[in-house]
A and B are shown apart, each in its own frame.
Chain A
């Protein structure tokens, strides 16, 4: 049960009545009894909440940054009209509007309510409860009850880098030989035989076939296909650090200002975690590699396998990838590089391109990946992609005051360590892509295209 403001108002009016009445004691008793009686009557005649039934329909999947509507049908099988307010309780980051809805369902009828969700975070959002407050005819008191009406919405990564896909696909088609570049070279494999026409490279004449056919026959080549790409996402502590500016404001980003030191914080609002930028880059790479005819597998790992997608068909690849990526959050533990390499080796039997999305943090790399990297790079082609921090670059450029120069020195030190780590990785034969958050996805796609053009897959 619940009381309303009207009951409070009535009780407040009772003060005046009691103060002016000739027999205040009796007046007080009378007012209280009257109020109690009115509340009891209201509760008796309010529509029952318990027998209400709820049905839901609507979207279950949404990309982060897009609104989604969920419909809630309230069915009133009782004998009295249910009039009052309804609240559909979702977690705060589901961004449900409106918070409460006016409800008026006559007996035996049903009403359709529409809720709009504007999620501010990736992952699964589940409705917790539906609460109905059913007012009585006098509007003094209400019956209140809560129902569970499960519904969940999976908020997918936004895949913002898909705007880069058309230009990269155009470059892929250039490689693919739709343009007249049928030159034998590295990065190509035998496609078919055809008759020689003037202008073909004489080196591509297949003499054996020519002898058989009594005609000059040349071999044609095309870029290699059906190579394997394994995208490995490091979900350890280094991927939790926030970089760049969030293209879509994330829940909790604004709350990060305080921290332990409650000094006035004029620094920029933290952006997206490295993990989200890495996912964006991974999605662009997967889309591109899928179109290029390569097989893409996906592994997310910190101290255990968080997600594993293998052998998805080309049409379903992106769908299954965003689905497994949606609930992944960075774990605040040091990633187990040894376990990660073991997981990769056990899953990738044949040689493939291993794209490792992690951070080039020298301390973490020295402890973790560097000792076990040779095991990986001896069997596979390894590409390490890392999101660099534009804030560090901005700090390194500070020259105005001595304080800024001290900060610049610290930033320079960090960048130098990163460059040295990159150089060490390259000496191991590992490709490295180190780019700021806005560029990491196209940079990774370009690196992939360059490897493909060079036939190193």
Chain B
């Protein structure tokens, strides 16, 4: 056993840990790619600084959906345009009087408090709190297509402007209101006295945008509606919508009540978790794999065949197999060849064992058993015949 059949291994050990150089060599492509991606992203952000996302109908927005062009026109005509992003600011401005409140979106505001601000009001679009902002004006079902429409009404602002690009929503006019730019059953512009001034509702703000202002009579209509007053309070969505923080009765949140050190302790806890993760995550050496041999029991095919017999209740085949096996074992003991005929086997068995020849014949060559109990009985009978022959 001492014969070594293989060449002697190199007994010297070699370090397999990566050196700093080899680590750098293996990851440098990934590092360079990462740096490239980050640099591209940073450069993109820097180059496009100030180019915020498009804010529709914002007086400072220069994109197609913005309305800076209109704001500039108004200022050129001596109208003060003030951009506000809270109800409180709008209310403070309204105290001076003679102002128009331009409302394009109410998602970030409380429409009830907004409706309480007195003075002229221009509501753009079928907004959520229309019932509060313009009482009596209802939005009709179905939205007419946005297109150039004729005024067809006595409202001076509309008749002076002529056709304009309107649509998207149609409204019913309350008693005493003037409806213009009809669409189907209703109007896309409704003007009526309300809240100590005139409230005007238009179906869409497309005619105010930088894109559409130069078309049709859009600019004239916009200036007639918005520029009728000395000053405009232009209400826009706040840049950062207020976070819905659950405030207590005195406006003090849970976080205000917590000592400052808790936040820091949580930070330290996450660092501790990270350290523990590093400790547990470092493996002592590589995972070793090996090719394992297949594990298949040789009897699996036989078991499978047995299950098939069971599943199909194949009594005829099962009985045939049991009988063939019994005959194969019996014939040499009876002194017969493997090709012995039926009557020879039955005759020899009856003579040797003294069993009834017809019973033996039925067991060895008869019809298949009718039920499972019959199959079990047949198997046991064959066993007893073999045992009898064996004992002779």
A-to-B contact residues, CB < 8 Å:
2-5, 7-8, 10-12, 14-15, 17-21, 24-25, 27-28, 31-32, 35, 49-50, 52-56, 60-61, 85, 87, 89-93, 100, 121, 128-131, 133, 144-152, 154, 240-243, 250-253, 255-256, 267, 270, 273-274, 316, 319-320, 323, 329-330, 332, 359, 389, 391-392, 395-396, 399, 401-403, 405-416, 419, 423
Contacts and interface: CB of A to CB of B under 8 A. Distances in A.
A89 B279 contact: no
Contact of A242 (B14, B272, B295, B314): B295
B302 A323 contact: no
Contacts of A150: 9-10
Contacts of B376: 399, 401-402, 405
A410 B289 CA distance: 39
A406 B294 CA distance: 28
A25 B265 CA distance: 9
21 contacts: A3-B279, A8-B276, A14-B271, A15-B272, A17-B268, A18-B264, A53-B12, A93-B290, A93-B292, A147-B13, A242-B296, A242-B297, A255-B292, A273-B293, A319-B1, A389-B298, A391-B298, A392-B299, A399-B383, A409-B321, A413-B321
B38 interface: no
A119 to B, nearest CB: 11
B319 A409 contact: yes
A229 to B, nearest CB: 22
B275 interface: yes
A406 B328 contact: no
Contacts of A49: 17
Nearest to A133: B284
A302 B265 CA distance: 68
Given A3-B279, A7-B275, A148-B13, A252 B293 contact: yes
Nearest to B8: A60
Given A129-B285, A401-B376, A410 B292 contact: no
Which are the 10 A-B pairs with shortest beta-carbon distances? A241-B298, A131-B285, A256-B295, A409-B318, A402-B372, A24-B264, A11-B272, A407-B306, A54-B13, A410-B306
Nearest to B329: A419
A395 B306 contact: yes
B375 interface: yes
A129 B283 CA distance: 13
A315 to B, nearest CB: 11
Contact of A27 (B16, B264, B322): B264
B77 to A, nearest CB: 55
A19 B262 contact: yes
A245 B308 CA distance: 26
B53 interface: no
A76 B347 CA distance: 90
Given A93-B292, A146-B16, A154-B5, 19 more contacts: A3-B278, A11-B268, A11-B275, A18-B265, A24-B261, A32-B271, A56-B11, A128-B286, A130-B285, A150-B10, A255-B292, A255-B295, A330-B293, A402-B372, A402-B375, A403-B310, A411-B306, A412-B324, A415-B325
B281 to A, nearest CB: 9
B338 A423 contact: yes
A129 B15 CA distance: 9
A251 B292 contact: yes
Given A274-B298, A391-B299, A129 B16 contact: yes
Contacts of B263: 24
A100 B4 CA distance: 29
A156 B76 CA distance: 100
B387 interface: no
Nearest to A5: B279
A90 B279 CA distance: 23
Contacts of B299: 241, 243, 389, 391-392, 395
A60 B6 CA distance: 10
B267 interface: yes
Nearest to A423: B338
A14 B373 contact: no
B175 interface: no
Nearest to B325: A412
A35 B296 contact: no
